[in-house]
Amino acid sequence: GRAGVTLTAREPAGLFHAVQTLRQLLPAAVERDSRQRGPWKVAGGTITDTPRYAYRAAMLDVSRHFFTVDQVKRYIDQLALYKINTLHLHLSDDQGWRIAIDSWPRLAAYGGSTQVGGGPGGYYTKAQYRDLVRYATSRHLEVVPEIDMPGHTNAALASYAELNCDGVAPPLYTGTAVGFSSLCAPKEITYDFVDDVVRELAALTPGRYLHIGGDEAHSTSHADYMEFMRRTQAIVAKYGKTVVGWHQLTGAEQVKGAVAQYWGYDATGAAERAQVAEATKVGTKLILSPADRTYLDMKYDRNTDLGQSWAGLVEVDRSYDWDPAAYLAGAGVDPGAVLGVEAPLWSETLSTSDHIERMAFPRLPGVAEIGWSPQSARNWDTYKVRLAAQGPRLTALGIDYYRSPVVPWPAE
């Protein structure tokens, strides 16, 4: 009736997302953490809404720079506001191992003891990690943990000499180069290591997916990569999880039901796109994270002080203005193979919540809308006006967003 609002949904997540919609219909002041004067009025009417894609994700790299449980929770709250339903945590890399593994304790204790630039690093105890997962679950986000293998593994190689082919542990690494490290695919102990890590991580993971990385394995021979991925995927399946890997996984044989995360961009060659398309023909599903659209660590323009620009400069309109169904259609990918979209945030240059927020906002809401709204309802010229209206809301939430010149922000 006139005096109330009724929310209905088929699942609890639907009700939760309906509440987020209701939040957006209220004045921006509702987001302040101090008492505000009412009454708050909501326009009458009926909203019927369902998401376009089931997988609407953001990734946070806690390896290059470590972020505390509270910092990750803050980001989870921001993701939930825009109906993101998946949080991919990049838990290991050359610069840091961030999750306690009981059977290999030096991974976290030693491998987690630094970060890019040589800061103190850090890692999550199992209790802290479970708390993070619980928190995400309470906001209807499924956590996808990633242990990147066989490359991006210097933190592990530094922690255990026996994981190296020559039996010599390299020093800890605090730079930002990629592609120089590799687990030793011919050694049997490598698979004991993978089995232990996957077993302990799967036990911490109520969600369906376990991400095994697989990108930039430039120091692993093709034959070794094929064998490593064959055995590692079997281990993930043994512990009841669905494999996700970066799209380089499509260069190896994929286990049935595997998911590949595509991070190519305009400069990605036709052969690589064709390989990904071929994989979808045998049932591999895709998460789309084109680096020059959804990578939230790409600079907005030449003057952006944070982030990188190897995939190009990504202004807010470029980040928004693409269609997942059409994106790889030219390479032969059926739209039905696309599970959804993900916005990764790599942290080579980011070390604070303020850094995260300046790079994620205002691009993240656009990626969230790409995942949620039908293509027919999406248009940059109308979206930029709706996005501008989010400015006062972000300010009320204490989010220091980038005031992009392509968006008509109201004077605050």
Mean pLDDT over all residues of the chain?
A: 97
Query: In the predicted model, is pLDDT for residue 188 greater than 60?
Result: yes
pLDDT in the model for residue 43? 87
Reply yes or no on whether 216 is catalytic. Answer: yes
**Residue 345 CB neighbours (<10 A):** 23
pLDDT in the model for residue 41? 87
Catalytic residue of the set 11, 216, 253, 357: 216
CB under 8 Å, gap of 24 or more: what pairs does 26-31 form? 28/392, 28/393, 28/395, 28/396, 29/396, 30/396, 31/393, 31/396, 31/397
Percentage, residues of the chain above pLDDT 70: 99
Percentage, residues of the chain above pLDDT 90: 97
Question: What does the chain come to in residues?
Answer: 412
> Is 111 in contact with 174 (CB distance < 8 Å)?
no
- Region 241-269: mean pLDDT is 97
Query: In the predicted model, is pLDDT for residue 412 greater than 80?
Result: no
pLDDT in the model for residue 3? 77
Query: In the predicted model, is pLDDT for residue 14 greater than 60?
Result: yes
Query: In the predicted model, is pLDDT for residue 2 greater than 90?
Result: no
pLDDT in the model for residue 1? 55
Question: CA-CA distance, 27 to 34, in Å (whole number)?
Answer: 14
- Region 172-197: mean pLDDT is 98
Q: What is the pLDDT of residues 283-327, one digit of tens each?
A: 999 999 999 999 999 999 999 999 999 999 999 999 999 999 999
HSE-CB for 21 with a 13 A CA cutoff: 21
Q: What is the pLDDT of residues 63-103, one digit of tens each?
A: 999 999 999 999 999 999 999 999 999 999 999 999 999 99
Domain ranges of the chain: 1-50, 54-396
**Sign of dihedral through CA atoms 197, 198, 201, 204?**
negative
- Region 143-153: mean pLDDT is 98
* Fold for the domain defined by 54-396: TIM Barrel (3.20.20)
Nearest to 157 by CA among 107, 114, 116, 117: 107
260: β partners: 245, 286
- The token pair at 31 is 């987001």
Q: What is the phi/psi pair of residue 242, to 5°?
A: -90, 130
